[in-house]
Amino acid sequence: MNDLVLKGGRVVDPSQGLDKVTDIAFANGKVAAIGDNLAGKDVRNVAGKIVSPGLIDLHTHVYWGGTSLGVEAELVARTGGVTTFIDAGSAGPGNFHGFRKHVIEPSPVRILPYLNIAFPGIFAFSKTVMVGENSDMRLIDPREAVRVAREHKDLVLGIKVRVGRSASGDSGVKPLDIALEVAEELDLPVMAHLDNPPPARREVVDRLRPGDILTHCFRPFPNAPVRADGNVREEILAARARGVIFDIGHGGGSFGFGTTRGMLAAGFLPDVISSDVHVISIEGPAFDLLTTMSKFLCLGVDLPTVIKLSTGNAAAAINRSDLGTLKVGGVGEATVIEEVSGSFDYADSIGERMVGTKRLLSAGVVLAGRWWHPA
Residue set of the binding site for Zn(2+): 59, 61, 160, 193, 216, 276
Can you say which residues are annotated as belonging to the binding site? 59, 61, 160, 193, 216, 276
Q: Which of 251, 300, 298, 249 is nearest to 270 (CA)?
A: 249
* Phi, psi angle pair for 162, to nearest 5°: -115, 125
* Phi, psi angle pair for 295, to nearest 5°: -60, -45
The helix (run of H) or strand (run of E) holding residue 360 is strand 353-367
Cα three-residue angle 100-208-320, rounded to 5 degrees:
45
**Amino acid, single-letter form, for residue 35:** G
The answer for residues whose C-beta is within 8 angstroms of residue 154's C-beta and 6 or more apart is none
**DSSP secondary structure string for all residues of 48-70:** TSEEEEPEEEEEE---BTTBTT-
- Give the C-alpha separation, 173 to 157, whole Å: 22
- Give the C-alpha separation, 270 to 255, whole Å: 12
Q: Are 197 and 173 in contact (CB under 8 A)?
A: no
Q: Are 260 and 293 in contact (CB under 8 A)?
A: no
- Give the C-alpha separation, 67 to 2, whole Å: 41
- Give the C-alpha separation, 270 to 60, whole Å: 17
Q: Is 168 helix (H, G, I), strand (E, B) or coil?
A: coil
Give the number of other Cβ atoms within 10 Å of residue 186's Cβ: 17
